[in-house]
Amino acid sequence: MTYNEATTYLFNSAPLFQNIGAGAYKEGLSNTHALDLRHGHPHRSYRTIHVGGTNGKGSVSHTLAAILQCAGYKVGLYTSPHLTDFRERIRVNGEMIPEQRVIDFVTQERDFFEPLHPSFFELATALALLYFKEQEVDVAVIEVGLGGRLECTNIINPDLSIITNISKDHVQFLGDTLPRIAGEKAGIIKPGTPVVIGETNGNIDIRNVFMSKSKEVNASIIFADEENQLISSCALPDGGRKYETLNWGTFNGQLGGICQEKNTATILAAVRILGELGYRISTEDVHQGFAGVSTLTGLMGRWQCLGKNPLAICDTGHNVGGMQYIVGQLASITHQQLHFIIGMVNDKDIDSVLSLLPKDAIYYYTQASVQRALPAETLSQKAEKAGLHGIIITPVENAYKKALQNAGKEDIIFVGGSTFVVADLLKSNF
């Protein structure tokens, strides 16, 4: 079996959420517990940090992993979804799991897991937790896939839980109000385990959900947006950001975008708590981790610069919360004309996202190569109703090429609306 055959088997035999959506979602932990038992509860052999929330999970997870790596720890990192290669999900000190290990997992384990009919994410999680044990990591940063309470990463007993923020996303699974979504996310708060809440945006109902859960399980709770660690931040010419902080000095972050301000406050609160838990993390480790997060961990698609003159940016933000930051960031950059390449999936709050977008941009409606992708024609129709105007052009690579042809040197090209639009563009090598 080749690596391509192994991943094709996983994608086709076990439902892949990023491809088909709701049909791949499995509520409950029975399969996860069965796989975990078979592998001898591998996550009990190393320390873990659990990261949930609606937006910012990836940036927070990767930056924490980078900081811990700079501090001398051997660090496992499990995130989702992947952009160009399944192995992006499972890394040790930034190195992706070898292709052969993926092949071996499928060939050696399929007789056991096939009768269970697991989801793709259940299998990926089982492989990640097992691989981290095999690699003898010191600590693993584990990102929640969807929700929290009934999500398969929730079998771990972490040193620290982190919930970045709450926004409306996956409402068909998590609830159609922010407090209900917060209740599902709060499911990763464990007895006696400290939890850092990144932001509540002043929503007292969300705050009360987290306060109630932490009190119920006797978990200390820290609200990062109340610690006032971040004094100021500004964009850097290379696309990163410069931060001035209260207790961690001044440093540069490799990740760009205004949203990183909130993520940085969350990360600094988490690092402080980790220090109280016995982790050895210096100020220099923090500085190096922020400065080299993408290089150290392989993170892509977060306000990623694709080119200059015209400035071309892609970002995986795809829901209302994420798009609010994106629109604000684009507005803050001096430019002549905005060329906005957008595609979405069919289970998002499409109308609400479209209502946030600037009316004076030129739009290129496209469609990612996943089953969940909203047809570009449908997106165009919805956008017209929202007062947006543009052309339909697929695939994503062609939309990008067209925007490059149309854009002047002082213009901006933005590519986003869906993780999978960004993935298609990066796979194409444009």
Whole-prediction pTM value?
Answer: 0.90
Q: Are residues 166 and 262 in the same domain?
A: yes
| Residue at a domain's end among 297, 312, 329 | 297
Entry field: residues in the chain: 430
Residue 203 sits in which domain range? 3-297
Computed over every residue of the chain, the mean pLDDT equals 92
Q: Are residues 402 and 308 in the same domain?
A: yes
Q: CB–CB of 59/255 below 8 Å? A: yes
Q: Which of 257, 369, 264 is nearest to 305 (CA)?
A: 257
Does 118 sit behind a cis peptide bond, omega within 30 degrees of 0 on the bond before it? no
Per-residue model confidence as pLDDT tens digits over 96-143:
999 999 999 999 999 999 898 888 899 999 999 999 999 999 999 999
Reported as a pLDDT band with limits 50, 70 and 90, residue 346 is: confident
Q: CB–CB of 139/68 below 8 Å? A: yes
Q: Are residues 258 and 276 in the same domain?
A: yes
Cα 134 from Cα 48, distance rounded (Å): 15
Per-residue model confidence as pLDDT tens digits over 185-232:
999 999 999 999 998 878 899 999 999 999 999 999 999 989 989 999
Q: Are residues 272 and 356 in the same domain?
A: no
For range 141-156, the mean pLDDT: 85
Q: Are residues 42 and 150 in the same domain?
A: yes
| Residue at a domain's end among 297, 324, 351 | 297
Q: Are residues 98 and 229 in the same domain?
A: yes
Instruction: Among 65-79, 156-170, 196-210, 254-268, name the most confident range.
Output: 65-79
> In the prediction, which pLDDT does 15 show?
53
Strands 160-163 and 47-52: parallel
Q: CB–CB of 312/405 below 8 Å? A: no
Q: Are residues 271 and 317 in the same domain?
A: no
Give the CATH number, domain containing residue 351: 3.90.190.20
Q: Are residues 210 and 330 in the same domain?
A: no
Give the CATH number, domain containing residue 216: 3.40.1190.10
Q: Are residues 59 and 117 in the same domain?
A: yes
Per-residue model confidence as pLDDT tens digits over 351-365:
999 999 999 999 999
| Residue at a domain's end among 297, 327, 346 | 297
**DSSP 8-state class, residue 97:** P
Written as six digits, the tokens of 395 are 């695939």
Q: Are residues 236 and 334 in the same domain?
A: no
Q: What percent of the chain has pLDDT above 90? A: 77
Reported as a pLDDT band with limits 50, 70 and 90, residue 176 is: low
Q: What angle do CA 19, 358, 394 make, to 5 degrees?
A: 40
Q: Are residues 275 and 412 in the same domain?
A: no
Reported as a pLDDT band with limits 50, 70 and 90, residue 347 is: confident
How many domains, the chain? 2
Q: Are residues 149 and 262 in the same domain?
A: yes
Phi-psi region of 254 (alpha: psi -120 to 50; beta: other; left: phi over 0): alpha
